[in-house]
Amino acid sequence: MIIDWYPGHMKKARAQIIEILPKVDLVLEVLDARLPVSSSNPLLERLRGQKPCIKILNKKDLADPNITRAWLRLLEKQQQVKALALEAKDRRDVGLIPKLCRSVLAQRFKAGKPLRVMVVGIPNVGKSTLINTLAGKKMARVGDKPAITTTTQQIDLRNGILLLDTPGILWPVLDNLGGAGRLAASGALGEAAYATLEVALATLDYLREHYPQQVKNRYQLEDLSGAALSLLEQIGRGRGCLVSGGEVDLHRAAEMFLRDLRANKIGRISLERPTEDASAFDQYQES
């Protein structure tokens, strides 16, 4: 079903992170709260070493709050990691980040030294939105610093924190079909990169197991026991995705279903659960 693999981008991302990491004090890794494993990249964990990291579970408004709480507990078990769930446009949520940075880097802060922070993550997790909210009206470029790179600028948040104004971009790992399918379902991949129908069917299968009531409510279905394809057919028929002759246009039905999912119309859904995916994080720690 999936999808392209981009070794060129990966190499560039790696070089960029290797260059910048030693020059920052703390990494803000932005993950998608709905799929914290698949929206992470093990490269960062390997390169970060003992550098403190705050893992942001962004888009918490789209994710199942119980599952997000469970992820936060699990993430905080990693070394030198604090975890926070938020909505990147919400100033109150984002306002918690500077406090957490100052507590993680308390010694440096007390010594009056600036806390140099960079935001990293795969495309579409909300890095730019987060930087904009963090910078807010107080945004003040402080110009090129030789300590960083010739092209990277910093924003003085005027609360002890210097933030790199462009995020570090990691590439999503697409060599695992399940994870790539979840990334596609979340909207993190361009449509040309995956097969819509297959992604919709796999997602529908997952939703009927974990969120049956929400699927029933959204599509007025009473019984979810058939094959995913026949469920999608019922959904498409109910929503008028038909071609001439009255047959269901499955591709349109799949697109509509994925649009509903991404727009929160089926409700708050987490696509990964810690019980199933915790081992993925353990592997990152060991490698």
Binding-site annotation: residue ranges for GTP = 58-61, 124-129, 168
Shortest distance (Å) from residue 219 CB to ligand G4P: 22
- Among residues 58, 186, 196, 203, which is the contact residue for ligand G4P, using CB under 6 A? 58
Which lies closer to ligand G4P via its Cβ, residue 62 or residue 115? 62
Instruction: Name the 3-class secondary structure at 86.
Output: strand
Does 121 help bind ligand G4P (rule: CB under 6 A)?
A: yes
Phi, psi torsion values for 160, nearest 5 degrees: 95, -5
Three-class DSSP category at 21: helix
Stretch that binds ligand G4P, among 44-52, 85-93, 138-146, 235-243 (CB under 6 A): 85-93
Contact range with ligand G4P by CB under 6 A, out of 59-67, 74-82, 198-206, 248-256? 59-67
| Structure token digits, residue 40 | 């992470």
- Determine how β-strand 26-32 pairs with β-strand 168-169: unpaired
Can you tell me which of 25, 87, 272, 277 binds ligand G4P, judged by CB under 6 A? Answer: 87
Residue 137 in tokens: 């009206």
- What does the alpha-carbon distance between residue 81 and residue 104 come to, in Å, rounded to a whole number? 9
Residues at the binding site are 58-61, 124-129, 168
Provide the token pair at 88. Answer: 């990147």
Under the criterion CB under 6 A, does residue 62 sit at the interface with ligand G4P?
Answer: yes
d(CA 240, CA 233): 10
CB 106, CB 26: distance < 8 Å: no
CA geometry: angle 177, 178, 181, nearest 5 deg: 80
Nearest approach, Cβ of residue 8 and ligand G4P (Å): 19
The distance of closest approach from Cβ of residue 127 to ligand G4P in the complex, given in angstroms and rounded to an integer, is 3
Q: Residue 88 CB, nearest distance to ligand G4P (Å)?
A: 4
- Dihedral (CA of 149, 153, 156, 161) sign: negative
120 phi/psi in degrees, rounded to 5? -135, 160
Instruction: Note whether 34 and 8 are within 8 A (CB).
Output: no
User: Closest distance between ligand G4P and the C-beta of residue 44, in Å?
Assistant: 14
Q: Provide the 8-state DSSP code for 208.
A: H
Q: Is the peptide bond before 3 cis (omega within 30 degrees of 0)?
A: yes
128 is an interface residue for ligand G4P by CB under 6 A: yes
Rounded Cα distance between 119 and 46, Å, is: 16
Nearer to ligand G4P by C-beta: 133 or 154? Answer: 133
Return the residue of 59, 182, 208, 268 that touches ligand G4P, per CB under 6 A.
59
Minimum Å distance from CB 256 to ligand G4P? 17
Which region among 6-14, 123-131, 145-153, 240-248 touches ligand G4P (by CB under 6 A)? 123-131
Binding pattern for the stretch 171-210 against ligand G4P, x by CB under 6 A and - elsewhere: ----------------------------------------
Residues of the shown chain interacting with ligand G4P in the complex, contacts defined by CB under 6 A: 58-59, 61-62, 87-89, 121, 123-129
